[in-house]
Amino acid sequence: MRNLGLLPKLIIAIVVGIIIGSFGTSWMVRVLATFNDLFGNFLGFAIPLIIIGFVAPGIGNLGREAGKLLGITAGIAYGSTIFSGTLAYFTSSIVLPTFLQVGALSVDAANPEEALLSPYFQVEMPEVFGVMTALLIAFTIGLGIAAIEGDTIRKVISEFQAIIEKLISNIIIPLLPYHILGIFANMTFAGQVATILSVFARVFIMVILLHIVVLIIQFTIASAYGGGNPFRLLKNMIPAYLTAIGTQSSAATIPVTLEQTKKNGIQDEVADFVIPLCATIHLSGSTITLVSCSMALMMLNGMPFTFTSMFPFILMLGITMVAAPGVPGGAVIAALGLLETMLGFPSSMLSLMIALYVAQDSFGTATNITGDGAIALMVNKISGYELKEG
């Protein structure tokens, strides 16, 4: 089990949870519900710390990058991320109502047989400060690090980032499969599991198709400006795409992404600058997944959503996920605070969101890094270079 990746562990957890929920007793499910409540409360406590640990050093490190193309590259990457999230919103608004029933997961408290079992006991774990306070602190520290020459605060926040990454990789991620197991056991016991599994399958297909469409759009626009055949350029990026599916990490895929980008005729110094930078700031695939999955869960729980409520969420996603760690599910962990404060997700929906997202994380990461090749093509042209002959 220890050598299995996160996705196989989650699949096993879902299966075991369904078995326990189908054949286990109520006390077994309540034990799992107690663990879930403790884990969910701890996750709520950790969210503001995670935001500071991700966002502050991410903004601070961006400020250290030299060169006039930094702002242009970051602007293109952010615009691509926002476009992808907006496309996901409108697509989900049209497609999701065709196969999802509004309020299908809403629990009727008057019918105990359909209610989720409560934990045996609860332990309050209050946040040190709120999510919006954490965002403001992170922006202030990050911009301050970028503005001053001293290294003291930079070193402190870098060490804090390392602590948060350890918290995620050594505690949150390893316990996540047990958390998902408990959720599915409880949902199965309450008769809700068929609905959520149906959602998993259908939303997965929609998201993958959206990823493909966005990549075609990105390379079509980039090649129209920077030259080359978009489909040939996209084909050359396939090794990077497949590598990202295996690693689930943009950072771990950088060497392959660099190699394939240079094969597309991008100037070496442009590729060497754009690809590592975009690995942390260009999150078009992850944003598609987060927006689509969050809207599916909101619809299932009878929560209203409009463009005016979702668009600020999309804008903040592009910032909050900057420099998310190279661990599977890092983007959704970074986005939990926004899901809670801006969309009103309770802890149970945050947990389902993690499960939905991680199931598709490989493909979101692959879309992120493949799209980096399109951004490199545009920056190559902005820098005054033409594509080198392959």
pLDDT tens for 371-385 read: 999 999 998 888 888
Task: Measure Cα distances from 145 to 57, 64, 262, 272, 315 in Å.
Answer: 8, 9, 32, 24, 23
Place of tokens 């919103």: 89
Dist. CA 278–CA 259, nearest whole Å: 15
Domain encompassing residue 250? 6-382
More confident: 186 or 135: 186
Q: Considering the domain boundaries, does residue 138 fall inside one? A: yes
390 part of a folded domain:
no
Mean pLDDT calculated for residue range 263-282: 84
pLDDT (average), residues 1-25: 80
Q: Read off φ and ψ for residue 273, nearest 5 degrees.
A: -85, -45
Tell me what pLDDT residue 112 has: 37
User: Mean pLDDT across the stretch 173-194?
Assistant: 81
Q: What is the CATH number of the domain that holds 154?
A: 1.10.3860
The tally of domains found in the chain comes to 1
The confidence score (pLDDT) of residue 324 equals: 60
More confident residue, 15 or 61: 15
Note whether residue 296 is domain-resident.
yes
In a domain, 158, yes or no: yes
Tell me, what's the pLDDT at 51? 77
In the three-class reduction of DSSP (H, G, I as helix; E, B as strand; rest coil), residue 177 is classed as: helix
Domain membership flag for residue 234: yes
Range with the poorest average pLDDT among 193-197, 242-246, 305-309, 357-361: 193-197
Could you report the per-residue pLDDT of 326-374, keeping only the tens digit for each?
555 677 888 888 898 889 888 778 878 887 887 788 888 899 999 999 9
CA distance 145 to 151: 8
Dump pLDDT digits (tens) for 205-235: 999 999 999 999 999 999 999 888 999 999 9
Q: Name the pLDDT band for 268 (thresholds 50, 70, 90).
A: confident
Could you tell me where the DSSP H helices lie in 301-346?
307-320, 330-341
pTM of this prediction? 0.77
CB atoms within 10 A of CB 37: 19
In this predicted model, what pLDDT tens digit does every residue of 118-136 receive, in sequence order?
A: 788 888 888 888 777 887 8
- pLDDT of the residue at 149: 67
Lowest-confidence region among 12-26, 61-75, 150-164, 243-257: 61-75
* Through-space distance between the first and last CA atoms of the chain, rounded to whole angstroms: 44
Question: Taking residues 94-103, what's their average pLDDT?
Answer: 82
Residue 81 has a pLDDT of 92
Q: What is the pLDDT of residue 218?
A: 95
Amino acid 251 reads A
pLDDT over 70, % of the chain = 87
CB 385 within 8 A of CB 261: no
Of residues 288 and 195, more confidently modeled: 288
Burial of 176 per CB tally in 10 Å (0-12, 13-18, 19+):
buried
Q: What is the rounded average pLDDT for all residues in the chain?
A: 82
Whether 1 is in a domain gets the answer: no
Q: Is residue 320 part of a domain?
A: yes
C-alpha to C-alpha distances, 243 to 119, 274, 311, 366, nearest whole angstrom: 41, 19, 31, 8
C-alpha distances in angstroms, 348 versus 103, 198, 235, 297, 340? 15, 18, 40, 11, 11
